[in-house]
A and B are shown apart, each in its own frame.
Chain A
Amino acid sequence: MTFSCLQPPPLPDPHIDLESYEAGADLMVLNLGPQHPSTHGVFRIKLVLDGEIIVKAVSYPGYLHRGVEKLFEKLTYAQVTPIVDKNDYLSPMINEQAINMVFEAGLGIEVPRRARWMRTIIAELQRIASHLVAIGTFVLDVGGAIGGGASMFMYTFRDRELILDIFEELTGCRFHYNTHQVGGQRHDVPVGWDAKILSAIATIEQSLDMYDTLTSKNNIFRDRSEGVGVLGRDLALQLGLNGPVGRASGVDLDLRRDAPYHLYDELDVHVPVLMEGDCLARFKLRALEVRESIRLIRILLEDVPEGPIAALKPSKGPTAVKIKDGQWYVGVESPRGELGHYLIASASANKGMSPYRLKIRPPSLHLVSLVPWLLPGNSLSDAIAILGSLDPVMGEVDR
């Protein structure tokens, strides 16, 4: 990994000056969103159209801003976990892990092996669930809410349901789990959990073949996604993209392999990388990653470590965790890329019980930053397909 020290050349401004556009062109401004069904949340893009072709795209995120980073400064460390569930609402487990890992780094405590084992399995299951939503919604965007896309969407949601059931059995919740805490896990593995996981991932593995038949072997789907919205490797690097979108454009970076955490250093993570960078590549790459996650879960379930699931005693009150002065950054591989948390702790902030500042590096924000580059030159239909293939989560973009 050498590119971290490279200084990228300045990017050209993607927003063209409309005065310089073809004289006499009859341009139309179209507001895509914030309540458009295909923007995956409340996201607004101002499109300047020449006929159906997009000339200029300006993105306006911020409609889902909840001020969580400011809220972190008021809450204590133990109170933060349930809040971050709502950031990337398609992978809340990984959000919880990421934020607790930065607190653990601040405290300098070692998480027990059994808890790390649980976190690895949970992270991979959550990755599968999140990618299933991404696959389903992309086909939904290409194929229509009343049509073939909806069928695919239903199938992927049916499979995601299996994973939500597994999480429900573990935590009692289906969406906002609050099962991670500083130093380990809150809930231990229920009896028969591994058998349930194995049957669920076997079902999902079978359905993946069916999805393949329905989509990448379907000519209309290929026509709609192949060569559409091509993202070059250089632009991906300059905009700081990693995760599935970056890897579909040839950015060979995966924190599970390159900066391992949890139990990933003991696993041999095969990172799929595609070079095409179009919508179809992004779509295919997610399916490949689901297969890889299934393989990792099977390996993990072979050997169940015994021992405690938390390094600290279960917190009796919200003030149990105190972090002294310092700065820490922890990045984990979320289903959308590097999810980073940068913590500045200070003994003066709420007597050391709250973060002085906690900055989130959301991968979705970097995905949304692609909009002015990728959309111009494509038609309105392709714009929807491209947005769907990026799979941003607005809760994370706006925070």
Chain B
Amino acid sequence: MADLLANPWLRGIASSVVIATGVLTIAAWAIWFERKFAARMQNRVGPNVVGPAGLLQPLADALKLLRKEVLVPRKADAVLFRLAPALALFLTIAVVAAIPWGKDIYVADLDIGLLWVLAMSGMMLFPLWLAGWSSNNKYALFGGMRAVAQGISYEIPLLLSAMVPVVLAGSFNLREIVEYQSVHGWFAIWPPGIGVLAFVIFFATSLAEANRIPFDIPEAESELIAGVSVEYSAMSYGLFPMVEYVHTWLSSAVASVLFLGGWSGPGSSIWIIGLAWMLLKTSILFAFIYAMRWTLVRFRADQLMHFCWKWLVPVTLGLVCLAAVWVNVTAGGR
């Protein structure tokens, strides 16, 4: 067994299967968690029929969707229409590869890990646009156009705010960023002001990347009915919300790696405690996203753009400069 895992090919395949499955499983129960959480916020009960406390509800939903027929509208571009959800799932799972879940728990220890994560989540625009365009539906087209406009705009403050930890830690490698924080303290706390602002902006813009309220204008149910996924049915529809949950979960994971010290914490030299710290931090951010989702209303498309280009971009540019100055003043460390 041990010499089997020494083979880099087998090790890569095994680790990616285990970690991708783990993330998808967590995302499935994140749906259950959100439904329960939202129900509690709204004085409802939430899912409680399938399994104890409704815990098997995600499985039931998936089974129901799998048994249904995938309908392709007659005038839709059938190839792109079928490709879009699959591509969305592929890109989301590709993000998982570079995220370190513990000291030695990762698929690939990339030197440009952060770039890989941001590139793959940035590519999520393609499936959304493909779905919006190939559906041959005006509401879906609106959703796709809004997704592209929003994604391109919010990419910039997202990248710039992610540059702050990179500048401070001096590395694109997510594992090294975490190790730097485990020695010097979380970037969300230190350096004062710069770190916490970068954290808030990164978190907010990653919400926009994952199309969560208040930035969920691409799907905007009350205006666009379901946005890009309006023509989809069965599991090809089911992949869109699923991808959204995975994406939100991964955004929380990346935010906790970049700013909250990832797996570091008391006792994190034992791998399972490190993993627990990572999952705990990610879960808290994730729960916060849903508390916000069920409280706020959404922006209008033009207000969203104003907010991005007039506030977020200048502020994040300033933050990167300040972080560079900080690193020079403190001579790379403290």
Contacts and interface: CB of A to CB of B under 8 A. Distances in A.
Interface string B193-230: 00000000000000000000110110011111100000
A147 B225 contact: no
Contacts of A220: 214, 296-299
Contacts of A155: 42-43
Nearest to B42: A154
A52 B41 CA distance: 34
Contacts of A30: 138-139
A148 B299 contact: no
Given A28-B138, A38-B222, A154-B42, A147 B299 contact: no
Contacts of A149: 222, 297
A214 interface: yes
Interface in A132-184: 139-151, 154-155, 158
A20 interface: no
Given A37-B222, A155-B42, A384-B223, A148 B295 contact: yes
Interface residues of B, number: 29
A221 interface: yes
Nearest to B307: A223
Contacts of B68: none
A380 B220 CA distance: 11
A158 B297 contact: no
Chain A, interface SS category: helix
Contacts of A382: 300
Given A148-B213, A220-B214, A37 B221 contact: yes
B300 A144 contact: no
B281 interface: no
B293 A147 contact: yes
Interface centre among A139, A146, A218 (most CB of B within 10 A): A146
Given A142-B298, A224-B299, A381-B223, A148 B43 contact: no
B294 A151 contact: yes
Contacts of A38: 222-223
B69 interface: no
B221 A221 contact: no
Given A154-B42, A379-B301, A144 B220 contact: yes
Contacts of B11: none
Contact of B142 (A145, A148, A380): A380
B43 A154 contact: yes
B294 A148 contact: yes
Contact of B297 (A36, A37, A154, A221): A221
A366 B296 CA distance: 32
Interface of A: 28, 30, 36-38, 52, 139-151, 154-155, 158, 214, 218, 220-221, 223-224, 379-382, 384
Given A36-B225, A144-B213, A380-B223, 4 more contacts: A220-B298, A223-B303, A379-B301, A381-B300
Q: When A and B form their complex, which 4 residue pairs have the shortest distance between CB atoms, in order from nearest? A: A143-B297, A154-B42, A147-B213, A145-B221
20 contacts: A30-B138, A37-B222, A139-B297, A140-B222, A144-B221, A145-B221, A145-B222, A147-B294, A147-B296, A148-B214, A148-B298, A220-B214, A221-B297, A224-B299, A224-B303, A380-B142, A381-B217, A381-B220, A381-B301, A382-B300
